[in-house]
Structure 1
Amino acid sequence: MPSKGVKSFRTRQDKQKMIEKLKKKTHFSKLEIEKLLEMQRKLSTRGNKIDRSKFRDLLHNTFAITEDFIMDRVFKAFDKDNDSHLNEEEWILGMSVFLRGTIDELCKYCFDVYDMNSDGFISREEMFHLLKQSLIVPGNEQDDPDDGVKDLVEVALKKLDQDHDTRVSFEDFKTSIHDDNLLLECFGRCLPNLPRKESFLEQIADEAHLKK
């Protein structure tokens, strides 16, 4: 029995250390982190990690992000160790940016979502693919919808390509967003809209308050 008591104490101690560490690295309070960790445990499928399917359900049902390809890219932006699951730290750090990120944090997040091959650039081909996924409706009778997407790629390059090398680096993207915040999600919505975000934050704040 004593050994079991010591084990649970160490577990609680480790948890509190992790929460304090995450509090310093995020925009959440200690109680909000505790609530998010509870949510993470409920969403977890194995080894206290969230898989891609559960995360996509959350994006779709809670935050109304519905584009399949974008949901996969958002998951990839959260999944820093590329193991196809979100551990506690990835979940909390990702949600901190997703819900309360600074403009610089949001620039990095959106850029990572759009940089499909993670080479540090958003290429013309990547822009085309992202815009086509977001804009073209299956069954549309338009003669050649690709032409419209190609035109939008050229418009995007003019707005974002600061050094005129026909691709968008992170510095290009960041500079453009600081000039015009409306360009942040120019290749597809990958952040929650304000009502959904506020509703979610109110929920975890209320639950955290009740726990006091």
Structure 2
Amino acid sequence: MSQMSAVNRKHIQALVETISKQVEHFNKTEIECLIRGFNGLLREPTVLENACSGLDRGRFRSILHNMFGMTDDMIMDGVFRTFDKDNDGLVSMKEWIGGLSIFLRGSLDEKIKYCFHVYDLNGDNYISREEMFHMLKNSLIMQPTEEDPDEGIKDLVEITLKKMDHDHDCRLSFADFEKAVREENLLLEAFGTCLPDATSIESFERHVFEEQREY
């Protein structure tokens, strides 16, 4: 048992060294806690030896919901796509830690790129009028009125385009989105909540990093 735990410990230390060179915003102690936490989320003790292990879409979405209070299916799918860099349908340990570094502690530059990718539903590097419509319709709570709610969403899309579409091609490129957010930071999550609030971040970090005090 002690020999196994020594091997495991060595393996974790090697992973910490590798990941710390690739990921900003976390120190080595925090990365070790995140590795152990990831193994707990998978509920698979052999995850370190299993290169195919990762969080599938369902597990990932339940974590976003339970730990960060996210409820919008479309946005959660976008967050999953953004974490899943190699597009294999699983968020690996390295993808999880790399994604969390921006999700929890990213700079404005990193968050602008992250949010744009979440909102670019079909991955064509533009946020189209249709994509805006679907995301806003999904994220807004519609009040029952006699007016067609879709008309209200369409009006909101047009207002948003007018404010953010700097090159007037009726869709948002990354340059449009970045310029608009730099001018008005509140537009970062214009199409739905895809970043955790301060309370969720504090709670998650306390939960994961409390292991530090045990070493």
Alignment TM-score > 0.5, same fold: yes
Aligned to 2:36: 38
Aligned to 1:200: 204
Query: Is 2:214 aligned against 1:211?
Result: yes
Q: What is the CA–CA distance in structure 2 between the aligned matches of 1:36 and 1:200, rounded to whole Å?
A: 11
Please say if residues 12 and 35 of structure 2, whose CA atoms lie closer than 8 Å, have aligned partners that are also in contact: no
Correspondences of 1:2-41 after superposition (within 5 Å): 12-24=9-21, 25-41=23-39
Please say if residues 79 and 90 of structure 1, whose CA atoms lie closer than 8 Å, have aligned partners that are also in contact: yes
Give ranges in structure 1 of 5+ residues lacking alignment.
Answer: none
Q: What is the CA–CA distance in structure 1 between the aligned matches of 2:93 and 2:146, rounded to whole Å?
A: 46
Q: What is the CA–CA distance in structure 2 between the aligned matches of 1:64 and 1:98, rounded to whole Å?
A: 14
User: What secondary structure is seen at the aligned counterpart in 2 of 1:28?
Assistant: coil
User: What secondary structure is seen at the aligned counterpart in 1 of 2:193?
Assistant: coil
Q: Which amino acid aligns with 2:181?
A: I
Moved segments of 4+, more than 4 Å: 5-14
Q: Which amino acid aligns with 2:167?
A: D
2:111 to 79, 96, 106: 106
Q: What is the CA–CA distance in structure 2 between the aligned matches of 1:142 and 1:98, rounded to whole Å?
A: 39
Give the CA deviation at 1:21: 2.9
Aligned to 1:163: 167
1:190 to 188, 194, 197: 194
| CA displacement 1:115-149 (0-9 Å, x = unmatched) | 01111110111111111111144x94543001100
Give the CA deviation at 1:32: 1.2
1:84 to 78, 82, 89: 89
Aligned residues: 207
User: What secondary structure is seen at the aligned counterpart in 1 of 2:189?
Assistant: coil
Which segment drifts farther, 176-185 or 10-19? 10-19
Please say if residues 136 and 145 of structure 1, whose CA atoms lie closer than 8 Å, have aligned partners that are also in contact: no
Question: What is the TM-score when the length of structure 2 is the normalising length?
Answer: 0.87
Residues 201 and 150 (structure 1), Cα distance of their counterparts in 2 relative to 1, 3 Å cut: same
- Quote the sequence identity (%): 50
Give the CA deviation at 1:16: 2.5
Question: What is the TM-score when the length of structure 1 is the normalising length?
Answer: 0.88
Give ranges in structure 2 of 5+ residues lacking alignment.
Answer: 45-51
Q: Which amino acid aligns with 1:20?
A: E
Give the CA deviation at 1:10: 7.0
Q: What is the CA–CA distance in structure 2 between the aligned matches of 1:198 and 1:6, rounded to whole Å?
A: 36
Give the CA deviation at 1:111: 0.3
